Amino acid sequence: MPDIQDVTILLAEDDPGHTRLIEKNLRRANIKNEIAFATNGQEALDYLFCEGAYAHNKHASHLLVMLDLNMPVLDGYQVLERMKNDERTKRIPVVVLTTTDDAREVARCYELGCNVYVTKPVDYEQFSDAIRKLGLFLSVVTIPDGVGG
Amino acid sequence: MAQSKPIAQGIVITERKQTERALSREKNFSDAVMNSLPGLLFVFDDKGNTMQWNRNVEKVTGYSATEISKMNILHFVANEDQKIAVEAMQEVLTKGQASLEINVLSKPGKKIPFYITGLHTKIENASCVVCTGIDITERKQAEDALRRSEERYRTIIENIQDGYHELDLVGNFTFVNDVTCMHLGYTKEELIGMNYRSVQDETTAKKAYQIHQEVYRTGEQIKALESEYIRKDGTKEIYESSVSLIRDAHGKPIGFRGISRNVTERKKAEEQLKRYAAELERSNEEVKNFAYIVSHDLRVPLVNLKGYTAELRSALEVIGSNFDAALPHLIEEKQSAVATALHEDVPEALEFITSSVSRMDSFINAILILSRLGRQDLKPEPIDMNALVQTTVETMSHQLQERGIEVNVGSLPHVVADRIAMEQIMGNILGNAVKYLDSSRPGRIEVTAQANGAETTFRIRDNGRGIAAEDMHKVFTPFRRAGKQDTPGEGMGLAYVQTLLRRHGGRISCESELGKGTTFTFTISTRSEKGACDA
């Protein structure tokens, strides 16, 4: 089992405000991991598969993906589906972060194989609370060995 | 024939007796022959004077033998036939024979149609005519009936609004009515002899060929056949036709008959209706999605507004905690302004932003709920409304007791509906009734129901504060609340109720009088009908 500190967090989120809030709150929750940013679904996949702009990158050894559902180019569902259908990425834990708690949306995400579903609350306290819990989750989660191929 | 005129005179005396006997035999024989004839038999001279006749003449005409013996043959002919009778007589005398149809006039004035044949002959060297007549009353009647029947069908065929045509076995038109001509834009003369393939495109004609083959094979009529015809001017129209087989007297197929109705307009209307339905479904879907997207996407900036307001607040705390140390470094007249800005203005502004964002968030949530109610799957099941209302009332029992409110529930029937939806509907309406009672009098709420066949109508009546006529339009509108705003609420309850009832194929209405009370009436389908919950 790799050290939790070695895990890189890929944050796929198109709204820069949300990205910053999530980052700030992760840091406040004492998450010191490296964070990579993607502003749409395609970018997230490129990062994961070292394609496109990331063609010359080395595969991150251990990853955790925080995924927004409503993103341009490819949305979160599409990213999730591709990840779970690919041998190289299917074991990467995925945390879905989205603005609604629509039951069908939640069900669909779990069906597609997401590990945790977090609703972004408008209430700031709740938001930090959610992120803090996520930090707690990250510290206990088992990140599988040898991501990438 | 005892009274008939003698036809022979001058008998040899010596053989008188024998001859008399022989004559008598001959006469008996000829009488028997004449009287056994089924029709009339007359013998008259070339002037038309009657000479001899059979008993049928007396029977048919009603004249006595004495009368007949003095009559001319033309007396037996009806007025309108006198001319042809005279002509026929001439013909017999010149050509030897003739035949005609005339009406025989009887003594009481009755006209009877007869087919008469006359033969010119000589008796005792005197020129005379032997004439027989057959009663053709029945034949005439049959002919008349046939003519009337033909006329009837011709009238129908010429006057119906549908096209009628007949084809021979190879598909050439042998008969068309005016409507068919109008349908196809050709004249009758053009159409007769033309093949049906000339008024159809190849695919349609091929199909029509198969249909006619089948009718020929089975002998059974095919109905409601839709096909496209090409008019003379090239335009195309759709017809609904039936095809059946025409057989000759021996049952051998000799052609086809078809009746066609122009259904182009109906088809167009149907297509239009289908398009409208699809459009409606699409726009309905769009509205649902719109509500969802709006509520979803609107929350994105709200998360930022709220998030960064909190960031500002915490930044402000950092500044505030260091403010006292920094204060002495400011010039005196700026100190109080900065303190006011820091401790009052900025927190107040942040407070307004925060509360506005919260309100907006609750609005968006309400829209989201409304859009979910419009989309969620309903599970219709039989529901005992007595039990459901009882449970709803029990959840409010504390409030009811405290405020001395009386709720009377009549005998309520079973309905088939989504249970959760029905709980929400009853909960909202009863909740409103309790909420908006008039505190100056004891609250009374009454729930009744009436089943009318496929529907059940529920009535929830209260003696509360009522709704002013000018506020009635707000009752079911989202975010609109009528009257005094002294109770909490978003103004969404009845909008939810209306959406849920519409999904059940039901409807709701409201009657109210300010200061007297309000009655909500809603109708729901009693039976479980497929689609009732998808309306």
Looking up residue A18, the CATH number of its domain turns out to be 3.40.50.2300
Find the length of chain B.
535
CA distance B81 to B92: 16
Bridge partners for A94 per DSSP:
A65
CA distance B81 to B60: 18
List, for residues B200-222, the tens digit of each pLDDT value. 998 889 999 999 999 999 999 98
Instruction: Note the pLDDT of residue A3.
Output: 61
What residue of A is the nearest CA neighbor of B297?
Answer: A99
* Mutate: best of A124, A129, A132, partner B, most B CBs <10 A: A124
Edge to edge, what strands does the sheet with B40-45 contain? B50-53, B40-45, B126-135, B111-123, B97-105
CA distance A63 to A115: 13
CA distance B465 to B468: 9
Q: Does A119 touch chain B (CB under 8 A)?
A: no
CA distance B510 to A65: 53
Question: CATH 1.10.287 residue ranges in chain B?
Answer: 268-375
Instruction: Note the pLDDT of residue A11.
Output: 93
| Count of domains observed in chain A | 1
Instruction: Note the pLDDT of residue B171.
Output: 92
Please state which architecture CATH assigns to domain B160-262. 2-Layer Sandwich (3.30)
Question: CATH 3.30.450.20 residue ranges in chain B?
Answer: 16-140, 160-262
A with B: how many residue pairs have Cβ under 8 Å apart? 53
CA distance B146 to B165: 21
Whether residue B534 has pLDDT greater than 70: no
- Specify the higher pLDDT residue, B167 or B336: B167
Indicate whether A149 belongs to any domain: no
**Distances from the Cα of B110 to the Cαs of A10, A102, B37, in angstroms?**
117, 98, 22
User: pLDDT exceeding 90 applies to what percent of chain B?
Assistant: 33
User: pLDDT exceeding 70 applies to what percent of chain B?
Assistant: 93
**Distances from the Cα of B215 to the Cαs of B174, B201, B249, B250, B469, in angstroms?**
18, 21, 18, 18, 68
Question: Which of A39, A4, A5 is closest to A20 using CA atoms?
Answer: A39
What is the overall mean pLDDT for chain B?
86
Indicate whether A95 belongs to any domain: yes
d(CA A20, nearest CA chain B) in Å:
10
Q: Give strand ranges (E) for B169-235.
A: 173-176, 222-230
Q: How confident is residue B259, by pLDDT bands cut at 50, 70 and 90?
A: very high
Instruction: Note the pLDDT of residue A4.
Output: 61
Question: Which of B461, B472, B454, B460 is closest to B516 using CA atoms?
Answer: B461
Indicate whether A73 belongs to any domain: yes
Q: How confident is residue A97, by pLDDT bands cut at 50, 70 and 90?
A: confident
Whether residue B530 has pLDDT greater than 50: no
Please state which architecture CATH assigns to domain B268-375. Orthogonal Bundle (1.10)
pLDDT, mean of residues B151-165: 88
Instruction: Note the pLDDT of residue B35.
Output: 84
Indicate whether A145 belongs to any domain: no
Instruction: Note the pLDDT of residue B189.
Output: 93
The encoded tokens of residue B63 equal: 């004249």
Expressed as residue numbers, the domain containing A71 is 4-140
The encoded tokens of residue A25 equal: 């709150």
List, for residues B372-405, the tens digit of each pLDDT value. 777 777 888 889 999 999 989 988 888 888 888 9
CB contact under 8 A, B303 and A24: no
Whether residue A38 has pLDDT greater than 90: yes
Least-confidence region, from A67-76, A94-103, B142-151, B460-469: A94-103
Instruction: Note the pLDDT of residue A144.
Output: 55
Alpha carbons within 13 angstroms on the beta-carbon side of residue A10 total 29
CATH class, range B380-525: alpha beta
CB contact under 8 A, B307 and A15: no
pLDDT, mean of residues B80-90: 92
d(CA A104, nearest CA chain B) in Å:
9
CATH of B16-140, one of 3.55.10.10, 3.90.1150.10, 3.30.450.20, 3.30.1480.10: 3.30.450.20
List, for residues A54-83, the tens digit of each pLDDT value. 888 777 778 889 999 888 888 899 999 999
Instruction: Note the pLDDT of residue B487.
Output: 66
Q: How confident is residue B101, by pLDDT bands cut at 50, 70 and 90?
A: very high
CB contact under 8 A, B303 and A122: yes
Out of B303, B310, B311, the one facing A99 most closely (by C-beta) is B303
This prediction's pTM: 0.49
CB contact under 8 A, A100 and B308: no
Least-confidence region, from A29-38, A85-94, A115-124: A115-124
